Structure 1
Amino acid sequence: MIRVGGVFALLAGLYFAQGLPFGFFTQALPVVLRQSGYSLVTISATGVLFAPWALKFLWAPYVDRYGTRRRWLVSLQCGAAVVALVLASLDLSSGLAWLFVGIAVINLLSATQDVVTDGLAVRLLSARDRGVGNGIQLGAYRIGMIVGGGVLLWLFSLAGWRALFVVMAVLILVSTVPVLAMRRTLESADATPVVDSSAVRLAGAWWARLRRPGVVAFVGLIVAYKFGNSMGSALVGPFLSDLGLSLGQIALLEGGLASASALVGAALGAWYATRFGRRRALLVAGITQTLALGSYVAAALGVGGFAMVVTANVSEHVFGGAATVVLFALMMDASERAFAGTDYTLLACAVVFSQGAAGLAAGVIGEFFGYAVMFGTGLVLSGVGCAVLLTGLRRGWGPAVLHREPARAP
């Protein structure tokens, strides 16, 4: 019998390992680039390095059907640690080309690890446990981002690239310990082999899953729900830098306080979705995350000073974190257990596509029209996206399994 507490611990370690490098690359690196004189458009264009997160659906069927979960996870975790150690051995002070290559490779490994981990979550968690499970998912991921975007940024400001990547490698290896300790749990989650698992069939498996009735419509709903909020939060680091905050202050605010606020949001989202159901939680979280962006509009207009900046940062992460937890639980509801990694990965890629497009749009709007217009546009689109998602669900859009699950899940 699988112990839910052990599953939660396993997932926590794996999602932490994802959030650690992602936090540094998405929160701390844009600040470093901005202080080095890069434009907002150029900074947002570095999002192409995260393409593996948007394209992982292409190889998700292979991950679902070949090898064991344990072997995949150990190999991917160790691979990411090795890349971090290689970056630690390089001289990055004269140029960032090798750093960008390293970021792309680590993203490829982490994105593949995410396919395995999401498949584990869908297979091992019951419908009732998914709200809490997604709270742990986002919470552990955010803790990783706190360390990556806050602690590692602070470490970089003191000791440079080498110490940063050595610590990153060590933490990734430590997070692999639950994988080594929970062999039986991982074996129970391995997919049952199918009769036809040829490479040719698997190459088009993602397309077959996408063509299921209602899936394309559900992808559109996910993109709509995430786009506005993602635009509003895409360039917070450069915004804080342009306000004149130091690396240490930004590390404390964006990497520490904001990510801690997201942990609170994750807990609230998990509790509310479990207590009141997915639909109501999506509505409340969507409205509050939209209203939170209004604080950023005020801060960009110079209203409220530093207190308003802190208020915006905290409120957006609390309510945005809650909304993300509920949305991820809904995505698990829409995934079939036999194709868990592939189905959930397709939906997760929709989130990444939405975030990437929103980040590029934010960079262009922010560069030419200013932060206030950028945050304001995100606010409007966030509200529209919330209305679109709730309307679509009410009308029965999405795969059939999505509308059966809520009846059994709180």
Structure 2
Amino acid sequence: MKKLSPWAFIPTLYLAEGFPYIVINTVSAVLYADLGFSNEKIAFWTGWLYLPWILKMFWSPLVDARSTKRRWLLAGQTVLAAVFLLVGMCAAVSAFLQNAGSMTFFTLSLFGFLFGAFASATLDVATDGYYLLALTPREQGYFVGIRTIFYRLAMILGSGALISVTGALANPNPKLSLDIMPWPYNWAALFVFLGLLFAAFAAWHSKILPAPAEDKPVSSNSANAWKESFQTYFSQQNIIYILLFILLYRLGDALLEKIVPLFLLKPQDTGAMGISLQYYGLIKGTLGLGAVIAGNLVGGWLLGKLGFKKCIWPFAVILILPNFFYAYMAWAKPCLTVTALLITLEHLGNGLAMMAFSVFIMYVSQGKYKTSHYAISTGIMALGMMAPSMLSGKLQAELGYENFFLLASVISLFTLAAIPLTGKIQSIEKTEQAFKQHKISLSDGD
């Protein structure tokens, strides 16, 4: 029987992996901002939603040791479908009782997002592990750019187009509105849609995903699997440099992630930009979408042609520039056109820079427990995102937007301190040599 092309399932797998992360960590903040909660409360409590992505390193060996990656990812998608449907129903009931902006709804929905975060983190482990098992080494190199593009596509659509449509559903302005339902039922509709989408993902993947011969438990002893996976990860050469790079590379992103949507959406009398949900979504979901895909394409091509070590310095500089963009916007309050241009440039640079980070994680996740190693790396990354994110709301409340973004810009320069460390990591050099020997280019599939 002819082998099924990865094009049949890689795009949808990574759409399904990207949507819950952005919905739980970013769209939740937009939801609470639209319902009138303070920046400090939003940043602190939604910051806790990173916790499952940190803790997943501790149960990722179970994904290696119990059942198959295929079954785990199907279960994760099914659970997420149920979670989003329940959050949608909760929002609808709260809207009907006119308490959507109450602490009751905040608490219930936050617990729903937290449960969904655990399912999403498990889905990440299973999907990335399945990718490494279902594809040949050449196919992995070919599709590394493709999977990143579709993951980023889901994140941009989730934080852009879906928010724009959600705002339009309840906006009374006839030029921008579909005028279908009263606020905040539009938020209930969003989560019901997401629940149905994930039910469709689970149904499609249960039918289409091949069952690789290598996709089987690596150990019958979960405790031994857990111990061995951690030992092999933390005993690899240059582990200190690896950890420092993972923690520092996205430091600026961590400070900005919760505050940027609030800065763009909150009313102007609070010092924010006061952009409508529709324009915010259109900018993020159209211009931002095109920019991030272009960044992924160019980033994959440059990494394939020049290699990681030659690309990481300019990519890191591009990553930290948007911090200064937001410092300027907080000070100058530019027009919508300039704001859209700066946000587009941010997404272009982020698309470039995150390709390098994805390749770095792949390079240091090798061996028998590569699935667990990948999960440990991304869990450490989530730890580096969580703490600054939780503090960002209080910092912004104390400093105001202008001083907060200025401080974030200065702190983001620590990213540059992590770059020289990559030159000391031998696994990067060895893996790049292996790719060259197999004549694999990271940009082949782009």
Instruction: Tell me the equivalent position of 1:297.
Output: 327
Cα pair 1:24 1:152 within 8 Å, conserved: no
Measured in 2, the distance between the counterparts of 1:282 and 1:130 equals 21
Q: SS at the partner of 2:5?
A: helix
Cα pair 1:57 1:206 within 8 Å, conserved: no
The letter for the 2-side match of 1:51 is L
Q: Which runs of 5+ in 2 are unaligned?
A: 100-104, 170-180, 266-271, 436-440, 442-446
The letter for the 2-side match of 1:138 is T
Instruction: Tell me the equivalent position of 1:330.
Output: 360
- Within the candidate set 178, 185, 189, 1:163 is matched to 189
Q: Report the TM-score when normalising by structure 2.
A: 0.82
Cα 1:330–1:128 shift into 2, 3 Å: farther
- Within the candidate set 132, 135, 143, 2:153 is matched to 143
Instruction: Tell me the equivalent position of 2:33.
Output: 34
The alpha-carbon deviation at position 169 of structure 1 amounts to 1.6
Cα pair 2:70 2:130 within 8 Å, conserved: no
- Which shifted more, 123-132 or 290-299? 123-132
TM-superposition CA deviations, 1:223-279 (whole Å, max 9, x none): 111112332344211010131111212222234432442222222211111111111
Measured in 1, the distance between the counterparts of 2:405 and 2:206 equals 44
Cα 1:282–1:303 shift into 2, 3 Å: same
Q: SS at the partner of 1:240?
A: helix
Instruction: Tell me the equivalent position of 1:43.
Output: 42
Cα pair 2:241 2:422 within 8 Å, conserved: no
The letter for the 1-side match of 2:147 is Q
Instruction: Tell me the equivalent position of 1:187.
Output: 212
Higher gyration radius (CA): 2
The letter for the 2-side match of 1:393 is T
Q: Report the TM-score when normalising by structure 1.
A: 0.89
Instruction: Tell me the equivalent position of 1:86.
Output: 86
Instruction: Tell me the equivalent position of 1:173.
Output: 199
Written as runs of structure 1 = structure 2, the 5 A alignment for 1:264-303 is: 264-302=294-332
Written as runs of structure 1 = structure 2, the 5 A alignment for 1:361-380 is: 361-380=391-410
Measured in 1, the distance between the counterparts of 2:197 and 2:122 equals 18
Measured in 2, the distance between the counterparts of 1:278 and 1:392 equals 13
Tell me whether 1:402 sits opposite 2:402 in the alignment.
Answer: no
- Which shifted more, 19-28 or 240-249? 19-28
Instruction: Tell me the equivalent position of 2:177.
Output: none
The alpha-carbon deviation at position 118 of structure 1 amounts to 1.2
Measured in 2, the distance between the counterparts of 1:317 and 1:2 equals 39
- Within the candidate set 127, 130, 143, 1:120 is matched to 130
The letter for the 1-side match of 2:166 is F
Instruction: Tell me the equivalent position of 1:104.
Output: 114
Measured in 1, the distance between the counterparts of 2:348 and 2:273 equals 22
Instruction: Tell me the equivalent position of 2:254.
Output: 230
Measured in 2, the distance between the counterparts of 1:25 and 1:237 equals 14
Measured in 1, the distance between the counterparts of 2:142 and 2:309 equals 16
Measured in 2, the distance between the counterparts of 1:191 and 1:281 equals 36
The letter for the 2-side match of 1:156 is T
TM-superposition CA deviations, 1:62-111 (whole Å, max 9, x none): 10121012221222211111222223333133223221121111111111
The alpha-carbon deviation at position 124 of structure 1 amounts to 4.3
Cα 1:383–1:8 shift into 2, 3 Å: farther
- Within the candidate set 208, 212, 215, 2:239 is matched to 215
TM-superposition CA deviations, 1:205-230 (whole Å, max 9, x none): 45323421322430111111111233
Q: How many residues align?
A: 402
Instruction: Tell me the equivalent position of 2:389.
Output: 359
Cα 1:89–1:202 shift into 2, 3 Å: same
Cα 1:128–1:355 shift into 2, 3 Å: farther
Cα 1:240–1:303 shift into 2, 3 Å: closer
- Which shifted more, 205-214 or 236-245? 205-214
Cα 1:401–1:178 shift into 2, 3 Å: farther
Measured in 2, the distance between the counterparts of 1:2 and 1:142 equals 30
- Within the candidate set 266, 287, 298, 1:257 is matched to 287
Large movers: runs of 4+ above 4 Å: 124-132
Cα pair 1:210 1:216 within 8 Å, conserved: no
Measured in 1, the distance between the counterparts of 2:347 and 2:106 equals 30
Cα 1:290–1:88 shift into 2, 3 Å: closer
Cα 1:370–1:258 shift into 2, 3 Å: farther
The letter for the 1-side match of 2:274 is G
Measured in 2, the distance between the counterparts of 1:41 and 1:89 equals 27
Tell me whether 1:200 sits opposite 2:223 in the alignment.
Answer: yes
Cα 1:203–1:130 shift into 2, 3 Å: closer
- Which shifted more, 142-151 or 51-60? 142-151
The alpha-carbon deviation at position 388 of structure 1 amounts to 1.9
Cα pair 2:74 2:205 within 8 Å, conserved: yes
The alpha-carbon deviation at position 172 of structure 1 amounts to 1.4
Cα 1:36–1:193 shift into 2, 3 Å: closer
The alpha-carbon deviation at position 151 of structure 1 amounts to 3.4
Instruction: Tell me the equivalent position of 1:320.
Output: 350
Measured in 2, the distance between the counterparts of 1:297 and 1:309 equals 12
Instruction: Tell me the equivalent position of 2:268.
Output: none
The alpha-carbon deviation at position 177 of structure 1 amounts to 5.0
Cα 1:10–1:222 shift into 2, 3 Å: same
Cα 1:338–1:178 shift into 2, 3 Å: farther
TM-superposition CA deviations, 1:24-53 (whole Å, max 9, x none): 333333233224332222111112023111
Cα 1:374–1:137 shift into 2, 3 Å: farther
Q: SS at the partner of 1:335?
A: coil
Instruction: Tell me the equivalent position of 1:388.
Output: 418
